[in-house]
Amino acid sequence: MNSRRHFLKLSASLSTVSLTGLATANTITQGIPDPSKSSFDLARDENHWQQIRALFPVQDELINLEHGYWGKMATVVEDALATNTHRINKELSWYARTQYKSDFLAARKSVASALNANVNELMLTRNATESFVNLITQYKGLESTDAILWADSDYPSFQKMMAWLAKEHNVKGHKITLPAAGTHEDYINVYKQAFDRMPNLKLMLLTHVSNQHGLVLPVKAISEMAKARGIQVICDCAQSWGLLDFTVDDIGADWAVFNLHKWIGSPVGVGALYMRTGTMAPVSPFPGEDPNDEDVANRVHLATSDFAAFITVPKALAVHQAIGGSNKEARLTYLRDSWVNEVQQLPQVEILGAKETDNASGMGGFRLRHATSKEAVSQLQSRLQNEFGIFTVLRDSLTSGCCIRVTPQIFTPISHIHALSDAIKTIASTQ
């Protein structure tokens, strides 16, 4: 089926799905044969992604390559959120006390199913940070001789919380530095060497996709190595789910934190906490909750929160699934490779993170060689914005120095990526 026909059926199907009901990929894509193209070919089909772009409200006056902060809801999701917000504001506690419980459970089930987790293993939270705070502050598995580990490319506030945990329990906290750029093998080796050097590690933070430069760590291989040594792994999937297409089986870790408001395209204020069955004991229930309950929901307390955001999740997930997780991953990686391949040979340019497509995501990082200070990278960010109309963001947490993070979205046209590589070439030629 050609991509225009696929798109028309997709739009029609998306608009008929019930707002709060369980809209699975099956119901939404019923009657839409897969496009005949593979994800690889579809990633390069500008016409297809132009049509996907029409599903979103877009801002045309600027080239926005900073989509790592949070995601964009498709228009149908935005409409569903507005309808749900209106209904809840009208019905208030009547809705909350009579209907919300089952709508929330439906949302929770849809996320668990998309991640191939059991519903008791997956609880919705307000964001990945909340999930991580629950794990860290309720973790009681440390003894004085133990140590914990994190890395410079982990999310900065999660690094701080790991340092807090070490201090709080009076155990050694080790921060390692990953190579500024490397292959899967390089990163596996760094973790292996760290495990060999630190035999008393008990807990580690492992980031699936770094918020600094989009590096994809081989989390399954590293988690398995860690588990074999008795090290518990928290996998930070805040930036990865939806940017990459995977389920919990692909990450190998027993515990993971997620966001849906980045790459799944849910309303802002939805994350998730995953804890594999049988692994919850070292993390206390939320204060006052049942200690014997083997349900991850008792590690979290949502209290009064954004009801409408949570119940809009099945709709967002249905859109994500209708576009296709693997199609999104392929498109985004293609966009990243397109600018990286154009500029990586320039002697003035340094690409950070992934050395190969294998460990790259749609998000990428670069800087001018030897210009790693905050001032230098901030100047580069300003030049891109002011001289070329390209919006990016500076990241400053890597041991090797600062970089520009470049994050397209699935609806970013390739012309925006060409504009970026042309701008980088122009800037490099003046160095």
Ligand X SMILES: Cc1ncc(COP(=O)(O)O)c(C=O)c1O
- In the complex, which residues of this chain contact ligand X (CB under 6 A)? 127-129, 155, 207, 211, 236, 238-239, 259, 271
To the nearest 10°, report the CA torsion of 134, 138, 143, 144.
70
Cα gap 223→231, rounded to integer Å? 8
236 forms beta bridges with 207, 257
Q: Minimum distance from CB of 378 to ligand X (Å)?
A: 19
User: Rounded to whole angstroms, what are the CA distances from 210 to 3, 148, 189, 346?
Assistant: 33, 19, 18, 24
Q: Which of 328, 295, 326 is nearest to 124 (CA)?
A: 295
Which of residues 139 and 241 has its CB atom nearest to ligand X in the complex? 241
Cα(218)–Cα(207) distance, rounded to whole angstroms?
A: 10
Encoded tokens for 59: 């801002």
Q: Least distance from C-beta 77 to ligand X, angstroms?
A: 17
Minimum CB separation of residue 352 from ligand X in Å reads: 15
Q: What span, in angstroms and rounded, lies between the C-alpha atoms of 383 and 366? A: 14
Shortest distance, position 244 Cβ to ligand X, whole Å: 12
DSSP string covering 306-367:
-HHHHHTHHHHHHHHHHH-HHHHHHHHHHHHHHHHHHHTT-TTEEEEEESSGGG--S-EEEE
Q: Which is nearer to ligand X, 88 or 235 (CB)?
A: 235
Please report how close the Cβ of residue 111 comes to ligand X at its closest, in angstroms: 15
Kindly tell me which of 64 and 239 has the beta carbon lying closer to ligand X.
239
Compute the least distance from the CB of residue 159 to ligand X, in Å.
10
Give the shortest CB-63-to-ligand X separation in angstroms: 21
- Based on CB atoms, which residue is closest to ligand X, 271 or 353? 271
The Cα 209–Cα 239 span in angstroms is 6
Q: Is 7 or 191 the residue whose CB approaches ligand X more closely?
A: 191
> Please, which residues have CB within 8 angstroms of residue 331's CB and are 6 or more apart in sequence?
39, 42, 43, 49, 362, 410
Q: Which is nearer to ligand X, 127 or 266 (CB)?
A: 127
Distance from C-alpha of 185 to C-alpha of 172, rounded to nearest angstrom: 27
Compare residues 271 and 324 and give the one whose CB is closer to ligand X: 271
